[in-house]
Chains A and B, each alone.
Chain A
């Protein structure tokens, strides 16, 4: 009587093979009809069960049920396979290049300036603008620059025949804002500034700065520290350490320079930080009383801080650009990297 079991097993493997090979829904349906359909093999086998001696009927019944379940499963698997669209004969070449939309880029200088402005914007600093052709008063006099200060020299600053200059710093924007607004004032001024330097790896005839100014009651160096600290962390990540060093600028007192731990080596010392572990980032300080006097603010009531950052320097550090001139060459192979 084992031939009925053998017959069942043979039919199951045959049905499974046909279901696996089926390439269309009709072929799968044919498998179902041939084996499980009303006139198919399994109903026929079922009818023959009565002929089997009772002692063998249990084993044959088990094989019958298992076989029917397997065929059912094979049919379902085949249907799923077809529904998910597998192995279609007309599959496309997936490796052909994609059709790209045009992808432009923002220059690393603009990008860095915007990131700075955005960080300060979140701290309540609004970005303002000022002229690049500036007068001596706003660029030097009102900023407490001594009359014989070297930066006034035509050796260092570009002059026009009418005595005006190309601004050598973004600081005159401070003056223009304070002249026209009463405190509190909290601004940044990103923009281009000019120095009479022959272009080399770290100098250019012009570069970009972002100036910051915050004047209110009781503004202190502690506020300055926290603003620059937060800037450092947002710009270069939470691992960056910072330090203030006393310095000198005519328009701030006290004056400081602001260093970040080297973003390249993490402070261990490398050629970028000249093995000091620190990178000079900003000049800053408390607005000098002489500057307040020039704009008519009372230093007994108001206090404030100002800072200036070099955009190119930040961009070069962020993107590890070794030479300032690359920023002004505008080679698309460079521009497309950012």
Chain B
């Protein structure tokens, strides 16, 4: 909401400058979002001295003046009767822009009846300074030509306020003035609001309220004989100071009172109302209305309308109808001041996509008492600026005044929640300066009655806020939190995830964070899922942003593709976040997953032969092994994975942790990556984070003494069928249970064309033997190795070397 300093100072003495005022408002909860200067006079207007005046050769009312603007002499044709040599007057030079209700116009160099004129000398009315249009505005003779008029008639300050939804009473200049008076310790005062009504009773059918649940109060007032025309300058200035444009004197009064008192008003052209009456009722299904802004709206029964005897003439509380509005020929008006049900106005406004300064206030709630005051204020102003006379008394149709909230308040409780030592007396003083009624003051507390403009106050907690706010949040001390550690039975939920992140980052991977909403097409690249697994939004932003991700793969693939397109072909990325699945047999609705992607060069920053090495399957496998080691997980295995649509056949494993499949890894299928501008294969892994963290948490490493006696190593080399896997060989060796065998490690694997032709490969292993209690003898080790060699040749059919 906008407010101006001048307007505010009509009701409360402002004893501080703009900066201090803004600070006080902000710190009291009325955040000042923007401050700007509003000039009264158009920019560029300066004082000028009339040097001479001569009659216009072709006109009897115009004169031709020579004028000095502080720098040069100009010739200006002027029609004002009072212009004369020697005067100091306002001059709008060529290029000055005036804003009027009819639009903007710019002063141009022109010829008036054949005589050139370079600018315009102005009246006070033309400049918006006063209503005086009798002639040129004559400035003090001491003003130097060239002085900008802004310095003589300083502008106003417009403040843009952010008003929180609990404080509709701040949506008016008067409402702000009330709080400012409390902040500055000065008195806030409304101008005298009264109007002389005739004693004649109003026509009872002038106003009918058929929907009292939606219309709590409707005050109708008839004014006849008004003359629609421009508003006086002072009102235009006030309206413009808060960013409103002048329309005509009647509409301006309703806007003025809306801004002044916060009560929206509407003026109908009475003659245009069928039956010269209004009915507040629900719209009938299929009814339509064309609003002031020319839009035709389809109405339903939830919409409250103001209708005449036949049809809707206004969308109640939101916008008037086009047809029934006040125009230049209007002479009789029905002035509406009403209280509508807030949530109904809100839903109407939202559903029809139409809002206004009125609906903004009605949907937050207006003050029941103010409806009457505002009606009188508007009538008073209309009679003053548009003439006319009141026809009878106002008709006030109401379902009753709401009750004021009576709130018991304990001083100690206020101090307990604020944590400051604010005194009893200060608490009571704060309530009173806020126009709250304080009764029954005792040493322990008091009773506060909240006026109807403070419907936000209903409980003691609400009063705590008032005390904290007005006494100043800066006055609250800071008390360091201490006391017992709370919540002992639960574990920190974030730390394990963060440790997992740190471990994966430590292995060289960069973390990604993607939106968890996306398109089904992208997410179904993870072929574990089908359409029916997707958790779908009811109101997505777009079809591309319509489902919750069941997998992190789709997002990461997008990141890889983008990065490759931007020239980054070596990528080690991961994401650790939540995924969603509708099929709870697959996994509970939400769970955390870890996904990794690896592609490109193994050592992009190195040189020589190393530079050319690209990542392969075993790099990702090694990463996972390292991760398990870092997490102290030993009970895991990788099993060949067949028929998984994500991976290249024969190049994928499932990850089994503590006997349960918890993920997979491998080389991505070519069709997933073939469109990318990269020659490198792409490897990916997906693991359920919960399985990792659970296994990690259980496994605390147990101490084993380091070996005291030396190890004995023997190498063993052979040619085997290419189908025989390293894992099978090691498993075979282990099953032989050679005494004191500590480890079996592959140290060479070799294939050349000759071997390949025979579907063979050459393998070499190091067997390490060690006994914890003594040094082994060569003979016993040799015997074991010989036994193994025999078994390998006989059972695995390898050719020993």
Residues of A in contact with B (beta carbons under 8 Å apart) = 96-97, 99-107, 109-110, 113-114, 117, 121, 123-124, 126-129, 131-133, 147-148, 150, 153-155, 158-161, 166, 177, 181, 183-187, 190, 192, 194, 196, 198-199, 204-206, 214, 216, 218, 220-223, 225-227, 229-230, 243-248, 253-257, 286, 288-289, 299, 303, 327-333, 335-336
Contacts and interface: CB of A to CB of B under 8 A. Distances in A.
Contacts of B502: 106
B678 to A, nearest CB: 14
A223 B469 contact: no
Contacts of A216: 483, 486
A225 B576 CA distance: 34
Contact of A105 (B165, B342, B489, B505): B505
Contacts of B541: 196, 198, 205
Sort chain B's interface into a size bin. Answer: 35 or more
B538 A220 contact: no
Interface string B504-517: 11111111111111
Contacts of B473: 221, 225, 243-246, 256
B511 A190 contact: no
A330 B514 contact: yes
Looking at B342, B343, B494, B577, the one whose CB has the most chain A CB atoms below 10 A away is: B494
A84 B486 CA distance: 60
A256 B342 CA distance: 25
A244 B469 CA distance: 10
Nearest to B164: A248
A299 B468 CA distance: 18
B280 to A, nearest CB: 20
B699 interface: no
Contact of B508 (A104, A161, A206, A257): A104
A192 B578 contact: yes
Contacts of B580: 132-133
B508 A246 contact: no
B562 A329 contact: yes
A121 B580 CA distance: 29
Contacts of B484: 184
Contacts of B29: 245-248
A104 B513 contact: no
B417 A121 contact: no
Contacts of A329: 562
Interface in B415-429: 416-420
A151 B464 CA distance: 26
A222 B479 contact: yes
A220 B486 CA distance: 17
Nearest to A197: B541
A181 B468 CA distance: 30
Looking at A184, A187, A329, the one whose CB has the most chain B CB atoms below 10 A away is: A329
Contact of A226 (B480, B489, B513, B535): B480
A246 B462 contact: no
A158 B512 contact: no
Nearest to B491: A126
B606 A97 contact: yes
B416 A303 contact: yes
Contacts of B490: 126, 128, 181
A129 B365 CA distance: 38
B589 interface: yes
Interface of B: 26-29, 31, 164-167, 342-343, 346-347, 350, 416-420, 459, 461-462, 464-465, 468-469, 473-474, 476-481, 483-487, 489-495, 498, 501-502, 504-517, 535-541, 545, 548, 559, 562-563, 566, 568, 571-574, 576-578, 580, 589-590, 603, 605-607
A96 B342 CA distance: 74
B476 A225 contact: yes
Given A198-B541, A226-B480, A245-B27, A218 B513 contact: no
A117 B589 CA distance: 26
B511 A335 contact: yes
Contact of B517 (A100, A194, A288): A194
Given A186-B486, A243-B473, A114 B539 contact: no
Nearest to B505: A104
Contacts of B27: 243, 245-246
Given A222-B479, A331-B562, A102 B493 contact: no
B165 A248 contact: yes
Given A185-B486, A223-B419, A253-B464, A159 B511 contact: no
Contact of B350 (A155, A206, A288): A155
A286 B517 contact: no
Nearest to B461: A253
Given A126-B490, A225-B476, A286-B461, A184 B483 contact: yes
A147 B491 CA distance: 35
Contact of B346 (A101, A133, A148): A148
A105 B464 CA distance: 47
A107 B513 contact: yes
A124 B481 contact: yes
Given A104-B506, A330-B512, A254 B464 contact: yes
A246 B28 contact: yes
A104 B495 contact: no
Given A185-B487, A187-B487, A254-B461, A102 B481 contact: no
